[in-house]
Amino acid sequence: MNFHVMTLFPEMIMQGLGTSITGRAMQKKLIQIEAVNIRDYTLEKHGQVDDYPYGGGAGMVMQAEPIYRTWESITNRIGKQPRVVYMTPQGSVFNQSMAEDFAKEEDLIILCGHYEGVDERVLDMIVTDHVSIGDYVLTGGELPAMVMIDCISRLVPGVLNNNDSAEFESFHENLLEYPQYTRPEEFMGRRVPDILLSGHHANIEKWRHEQSVKRTMERRPDLLQEK
Ligand code: 6GU
């Protein structure tokens, strides 16, 4: 899967995703991430990419032209026009099922905004999906883009070592993950639950499922209402 990130801070994207599981997935060519600097596509003399808002008001607005030209360069190069996700607090709130939907795409273009916003005309022209990562305010779309790319990459076949681990983790069937334990059997007087030492796989599976349901009821009852 190929992620094409349109941003004013390309180094932030590449540094943030260059390590750990996403970094390894890039090395293995299972995913490809390119961060394209919108500033490289401005036609203004001093590299300007933003300007004052028409009608007045605080802050600056990202201009349409450099964003359009960045998009044009990417789409001409790859010879197709994939979905374009604009990261914005005004979008639909990202979740696991949106990740599963995006993971079906071969290419995805992600637009990161900054300042007070982006000229609406270029959004109308190129954006297919508006996505937020939650109800709080961030400085720009870069961190949200990284969150989304991390989450989608985990669903690309081969990215996780154990092919099973993605589907059994938190949010599988809208349940939180059961508690985990490793050595030693006793830590500061606290013992690992006996059932996990019993070797009785059917009972262990039943216990884990019960723990998942209990935990979800206690911590995220809202998940049990969904679907
Ligand atoms: Cl996608 N962008 C910004 N700037 N802030 C956010 C967000 C996105 N999602 C939550 N807060």
Q: What is the CATH number of the domain that holds 99?
A: 3.40.1280.10
In a domain, 160, yes or no: no
In a domain, 164, yes or no: no
Phi, psi of 168 (to 5 degrees): -95, -5
137 CB near ligand 1 (under 6 Å): yes
What is the residue range of 217's domain? 170-225
Q: d(Cα 176, Cα 128) in Å, to the nearest integer?
A: 31
Q: d(Cα 15, Cα 65) in Å, to the nearest integer?
A: 27
184 and 130, same domain (yes or no)? no
25 and 107, same domain (yes or no)? yes
Amino acid at 149: I
Residue where a domain stops, chosen among 110, 125, 153 = 153
* CA of 111 relative to ligand 1 center, distance in Å: 12
Contact 38, 67 (CB under 8 A): yes
Q: d(Cα 191, Cα 189) in Å, to the nearest integer?
A: 6
In a domain, 159, yes or no: no
179 CB near ligand 1 (under 6 Å): no
190 and 116, same domain (yes or no)? no
110 CB near ligand 1 (under 6 Å): no
Q: Give the chain's domain count.
A: 2
Q: What is the pLDDT along the chain (227 residues), one digit of tens a residue?
A: 999 999 999 999 999 999 999 999 999 999 999 999 999 999 999 999 999 999 999 999 999 999 999 999 999 999 999 999 999 999 999 999 999 999 999 999 999 998 789 999 999 999 999 999 999 999 999 999 999 999 999 999 999 986 556 555 666 688 999 999 999 999 999 999 999 999 999 999 999 999 999 999 999 999 998 75
Residue nearest to atom 7 of ligand 1 (CA): 89
Provide the whole-model pTM: 0.93
| 66: preceding bond cis by omega (within 30 degrees) | no
The token duo for 34 is 């390119």
CA 197, 200, 202, 207 torsion: positive or negative?
negative
133 CB near ligand 1 (under 6 Å): yes
In a domain, 23, yes or no: yes
Contact 150, 44 (CB under 8 A): no
128 and 217, same domain (yes or no)? no
Query: What CATH number should be reported for the domain holding residue 220?
Result: 1.10.1270.20
In a domain, 101, yes or no: yes
136 CB near ligand 1 (under 6 Å): yes
69-79: b or e for each residue (b if 16 or more CB lie within 10 Å)? bbbeebbeeee
